[in-house]
Structure 1
Amino acid sequence: MHKQNFWGYLFIMPFLIGLLIFTAYPFVYSFYLTFTDWDMFNPPKWIGLNNWSFTLKQEQFWYSVRNVFYFALIFVPLQAFIALIIAYVLNQSIRAKGFFRAVYFLPVITPWVAGGLLWKWLLDSKFGLVNTLLGEMGIGPFQYLDHPYWWIVIGILAVVSVWKGMGSAMIILLAGMQSISKDLLEAAEIDGATRWKKFSRIVFPLVSPMVFLVLITSSIASFQAFDVFLVMLDSPNIVKDELLTTNILIYRDAFLLFKMGSASAMSWTLFLFILIITLFQKQFEKRWVHYD
C-alpha cells in the first residue's frame, strides 16, 4: 500500500511542481504586489492601499468595467443561443454533417490576429467589403469600428467574438445532445410530440447542464476580453478611453508603463468581479438546470 502511494505521488509530482511554480506562487505574489510600487527593475516598495485606491478612483477603470459588462450582455446570450440552435440542427439527420461541423468550428482554431484583421478589413468604413456590398444595393455607407457611439463599436466586437467562440460552445452542446437516447425521442414522436415540444421538453432540459457550462465559461471569457479589442482597435495606446477593457488597462500598466502594482490591483479587482458574477449565476442554477 505504501509502495503504491509512493509511485502515485511520484507520478503527480511534475504536475504539482508546475502548479506551485506557475499558478499558486504567481497568484499569491500578485496579491502582494497590489500593496507595492514595482517597475520590474527595482525592488518592490510597500505603499499600502494606494494601488487599490487609485484603481477605484480611476475613470478609465470604470469605463472598462462598463464596457466588459455591456460586452458580456451581448456576447454571452447571443453565443449560447446561436450555438444551441446550430448544435440542434447538426444533430439531425442531414447531409454533410461532418463538413458543417468543421466549418462552424474553424473560427475557433483561427488565430485572433488573423481573424481580427480580416474583420477589421471587412468593416472598414471606406474600403471594407461590407460597405461595398451595401453600396451596390444603394445602402450606406456606415461607420463600424470608428463609430462615435461606444456602444455600437463594442456591440460589433461582441458579434465578432460570437463568430470566434461559437464553435467551441457548439461542440459542448452537440456532445450533450448526442448522449440523449434516441429511444426517448422516438417515443415522444410516437406520442405526437412536435419538433418544438421535443426540443423544449426533452432536448433542452437534458442539455441544460451543458448550456449552463457555456454560460459560465462565456461570461468569464467576456470579462477577460482582450484580443478582439487589441487587434481590431489597434494598440492599447490608441484605444479611446470609452472603448477600453480591463485587460487592456492591465496590459498597458504592466508591460508598457511598468506599473505592476497598479496592474495587479486591477487584476484582483477583475477577479472579484468575475467571482461575484459566477456566484450570482450559480444562485439560479437549480431553477432551470436539470442533472437527473
Structure 2
Amino acid sequence: MKKILLSILLITSNSFYGQEVIYETTHAGTTGAEITPTANGPACQMGDAIVLGGTARYLNSITVDLFNLNDATPFSVTMTLYSDCPTVTGAGACGSGIGTLIPGSSVTVNVTAPPATLGTVFEVVFPYSGLDLSGQTDNGITVMINASRANVFWILGETPTIGSMPAGETGFGFATRCGSSGTNNGCARNFGLANNFAMTIDANLTLSSDNFGDNSLDKIALYPNPVISILSISNANIYEIRNVFVTDINGRKIKKQSDSFSEIDVSDLNSGVYFLTIEAAEGKTTKKFIKQ
C-alpha cells in the first residue's frame, strides 16, 4: 500500500514546549480491521488496549493509520478513550465492561477528502487540548474508534516501539470490539497477527498544550480546529487585539495580520501543526491549531 499524509506533520521532538511521544508503533502494516462493519451496526467500535510510555500525560494528539477498501466517499471517525476494557463478551454497548469513559476524550474528525485511490494508507489526527491522563495510575488506556460508514479500516499488525501492550497480553496480543449488535464484542479479539493498531500518541509535560502564553487571554478560542481554510478567532470584543501571526513548528513566522482579527485565511498552508500568536493590550497568548 502507498501511504500519504492526510492531515498532519508528526512532531517527535520532546523538547518543543515539553512535548513527548508517549506511545508509538511501527508503521509497516498492510492489513487492517474494519472499524464499523455494516453487519455489526453503526455503534460498533474497534480499538486497542495500550500502556503509555514516557512521563508526559497532558494529551496533545492521537494519530492513526487508516485506509478505505472500496469506498472513497467522505466519512467521520470518533475516538473515545477508556480507563480499561470498555466491553464484555457478547452483545453490549461500549462502556458496559470494566473500563470507564475518560471524561472529555470523545473527539470527532471529519475526513472530507479521503484518498481517491483505494487501499492508500492515510493518517487521521485526533486533536486534544491537554486532556489529563495522569489519573491512569497503571499508564493503561483503551483507544476506541467508531466510523460513520463501513469499509473504513485501521491498520494493524504493528509492534509498539514506545509504550507497550498491557501485562497479560501474550503472543500477538489482543484487539477490542464493543458496541456491536452481534455477539462478537470482546476484550481479547485475535486476528492471527500482531494485534497492535498503527498509532502515535503525543502529550505535553504541562497543561499548556495549546496555550503557551498569558492566561489573561484564556477566553480566546480558535475554531474550527482542525481547519481547512478559514480559522476563526473567538474574542467577543473582550480583548483589544493588535496583531496576530502564525508560526510553524520550527518557530518561523509565516503569516501576520494587523487589520482584521476575527478570522485568518490559512488555506495556503500545508497540512500540519501551526501556532497562532495573539498580541493584545491585555497580554499575549499562543494557541496551537491543525491545518488539514
TM exceeding 0.5: no
Structure with a larger share of its residues in strand:
2
Higher relative contact order, structure no. (Cα contacts within 8 Å, ≥ 6 residues apart):
1
TM-score, length-scaled by structure 1: 0.23
When Rg is computed on C-alpha atoms for both structures, the one with the higher figure is 1
Choose between structure 1 and 2: higher helix proportion.
1
TM-score w.r.t. the length of structure 2 is 0.23
